Amino acid sequence: MDDGVSGARFDRAAFQEMIEQVRNGEIQVIITKDYSRLGRDYLEVGKYMECLFPLLHVRYIAVNERYDSDNYAGKTGGMEVGIKNIINMMYSRDASKKVMAARKVLTEQGKFIGSFAPYGYVKYLGDKHRLVPDPEAAEVVKRIFTLAAEGKKYKEIARILNEAGVETCLDYQKSHGRERKHGTEIKVHQWSATTVMDILYNEVYIGTIVNNRIEQNQRTGYKSKRREPEKWTVVENCHEPIVSRELYEAAHEKLNRKSQAKKVRSGNSSARLFLCGCCGHALIKRHGKYKCPANLNPTELNCSEVKMDAEIFENTVLTYLRVTAESFLQDLEKKRVIQKETQGNGPDVKIISQKIKNLENRKFQAYDDYTREKMSREEMRNLRDRLQEEINTLNETLAAREKELAALSPVPDVSEEELTVIAGLSEFNPEAIRVLVRNITLFEDGNIEVVWNMDDFLKDA
What DSSP state is assigned to residue 25? T
How many Å apart are CA 191 and CA 159, to the nearest integer? 7
What DSSP state is assigned to residue 357? H
Q: What is the pLDDT of residue 305?
A: 84
Q: How confident is the model at residue 258 (pLDDT cuts 50, 70, 90)?
A: very low
* Range in 252-261, 293-302, 350-359, 404-413 with the lowest mean pLDDT: 404-413
Over range 102-129, report the average pLDDT: 78
Whether residue 238 is predicted with pLDDT greater than 90 in this model: the reply is no
pLDDT (tens digit per residue) in 27-65? 889 888 876 777 766 567 767 777 777 777 888 888 877
How many Å apart are CA 171 and CA 191, to the nearest integer? 10
Q: What is the pLDDT of residue 205?
A: 92
Whether residue 385 is predicted with pLDDT greater than 80 in this model: the reply is yes
CA–CA–CA angle 70, 74, 78 (5° rounding): 110
Averaged pLDDT score across all residues of the chain: 76
Q: How confident is the model at residue 412 (pLDDT cuts 50, 70, 90)?
A: very low
Over range 267-273, report the average pLDDT: 60
Instruction: Please name the helix (run of DSSP H) or strand (run of DSSP E) that holds residue 450, with its range, or none.
Output: strand 448-452
pLDDT (tens digit per residue) in 132-186? 899 999 999 999 999 999 988 888 898 899 888 898 888 888 888 776 655 445 5
HSE-CB of 461 using CA atoms within 13 angstroms: 17
More confident residue, 146 or 259: 146
Specify the amino acid at residue 28.
Q
Contact 358, 351 (CB under 8 A): no
Contact 42, 85 (CB under 8 A): yes
Q: What is the pLDDT of residue 411?
A: 47
Whether residue 441 is predicted with pLDDT greater than 50 in this model: the reply is yes
Percent of the chain clearing pLDDT 70 (strictly above): 71
222's CB contacts (< 8 A; 6+ apart) are: 6, 9, 216
Q: How many CB atoms lie within 10 A of CB 312?
A: 12
pLDDT (tens digit per residue) in 289-338? 998 877 665 656 778 888 899 999 999 988 888 888 888 888 777 777 76
Quick one: which of 307, 325, 344, 269 has its CA closest to 448?
307
How many Å apart are CA 213 and CA 202, to the nearest integer? 13
Quick one: which of 190, 374, 193 has its CA closest to 201?
193
Contact 271, 256 (CB under 8 A): no
Q: What is the pLDDT of residue 259?
A: 39
Q: DSSP letters along 276-345, please?
A: ETTT-PBPEEETTEEE------TTT--GGG-EEEHHHHHHHHHHHHHHHHHHHHHHHHHHHHHHHHHHTT
CA distances from 48 to 38, 54, 436 (A): 9, 8, 39
